Amino acid sequence: MKQRELPSYLQQSDAVKDRFERMKKRPVTLQVKNLNKEFDTPQGKVTALKDINFETYKREFVCVIGPSGCGKSTLIRILAGLETQSSGDVLLDGEAAIGPGPDRGMVFQGYTLFPWLSVKDNVMFGLEMSGHSKASSEEQAFQWIDLVGLSKFAKSYPHQLSGGMKQRVAIARALANQPRILLMDEPFGALDAQTRAKMQGYLHEIWKNIDVTILFITHDLDEAVFLADRVLVLKANPGEVQEVIEVPVPHPRSPEQLLEPEFLATRKRLEELIHPAEADAGINEDHLNMVRMVRVDNEVESVY
């Protein structure tokens, strides 16, 4: 393959630079300060996250990416309040966020819709929990369902929906509480490539029109570059912030941009960070021990 000359991922057009400058003047929604997480295992203490520091600005879209075992899921679970950090602070609009709460919405990879509730009742769940009357939550639920384009399925049960539809319900359910930040843990990981691309488009549409900051975990490099304003790259053992990359691809994003030089440059940088070159140079032990096992007189001498 021919190596194309790519610009540096740090190189931003004036419009993009201006946008980042304006963004950084916005108030900080989520601030993570000196966050550490250690697990006690039979093999001893394991540091899952070490000294994590970052912040997200209001209505920013941040993707978190990293190799497996970098603790990205642990990080988002701490942010959601489903796990507690060993030390450090999570501040939401300047206030410490402790325990799970409706101010931080969460979308899981496994949908986690309540199978015994219809789509409408699923979306109503959070509203009712936060004390809205039945009538008012029903009305709001219909609005959110309409927003994600599932009005026809309001009365259906989750098992009657496709994966992409389920995830749209999950997003509507999380957004109905009007959280300040939407935490998404590899939400499109279980979807096929086409649905995934469509969902990425939908998510951008939702994000554009709703007052919400999004923190999105993924292991898909293209997804990270396509969706994010900034990408938080973690490294494994222990999980640390390796780099925060400002994506130089201008908004609004479209699938055609996947082949633009700034897109490819950013993707290449992520690739370098997540799969360092020496890992591929044969130092690692994980490889096949393949020898030719086809007879010499096989009809197909070579598959090439």
Partner 1 sequence: MMIMFTKLFSIGKKLDSRQRITMSVFSFLLPLLIWSLVSYVPFIWHPKVEIETAGDVSYFQQGMLIDRNIFDREVETAIKESKAVPEGVAANPVYLPAPHEVATALYTAFTTEPKRRNEKWLHESLWDSIQVIFWGFLISSLIGVPLGILAGTYDVFSKLFEPFIEFFRYLPAPAFGALAVAVLGIYDAPKIAIIFIGTFFQQVLVVSNTTRKLDPALLEAAMTLGAKRMSLLFRVVVPGIITHLYKDLRLLLGWAWTYLIVAELIGTSSGITWFITQQARYKNFDNVFAAIIIIGIIGLTTDLVLAAIGRKIFPWEKGLAKA
Decide: 28 and 57 in contact? Cβ < 8 Å: yes
Q: Which stretch binds partner 1 (CB under 8 A): 1-9, 50-58, 74-82, 279-287?
A: 74-82
Q: Does 253 bind partner 1 (CB under 8 A)?
A: no
Q: Taking the complex as a whole, how short is the minimal distance between the CB of residue 110 and partner 1, in angstroms?
A: 6
Residue from 66, 67, 158, 238 touching partner 1 (CB under 8 A): that is: 158
| Selection from 217, 211, 251 nearest residue 231 by Cα | 217
Alpha-carbon distance of 240 to 200, in angstroms, equals 27
Binding mask 169-208 for partner 1 (x = CB under 8 A): ----xx--x-----x-------------------------
Provide, rounded to whole angstroms, the least separation between the CB of residue 129 and partner 1: 4
Residues 219/233, Cβ–Cβ less than 8 Å: no
Q: With respect to partner 1, which residue has the nearer C-beta, 94 or 99?
A: 99
Beta strands in 93-229 (DSSP E): 95-96, 104-107, 181-185, 213-217
Q: Is 250 in the site for partner 1 (CB under 8 A)?
A: no
For the CB of residue 158, give the shortest distance to partner 1 in the complex, in Å. Answer: 7
CB 32 within 8 A of CB 88: yes
CA-angle at 171, arms to 108 and 61, nearest 5°: 85
Query: Does residue 115 bind partner 1 (CB under 8 A)?
Result: yes
**Toward partner 1, which CB reaches closer, 70 or 106?**
106
**Residue 41, helix vs strand vs coil:** strand
73 touches 217 (CB < 8 A): yes
Could you tell me the smallest distance in angstroms from the CB atom of residue 100 to partner 1?
A: 4
Site residues (vs partner 1, CB under 8 A): 80-82, 100-102, 104-106, 108, 110, 112, 114-117, 125-126, 129-130, 157-160, 173-174, 177, 183
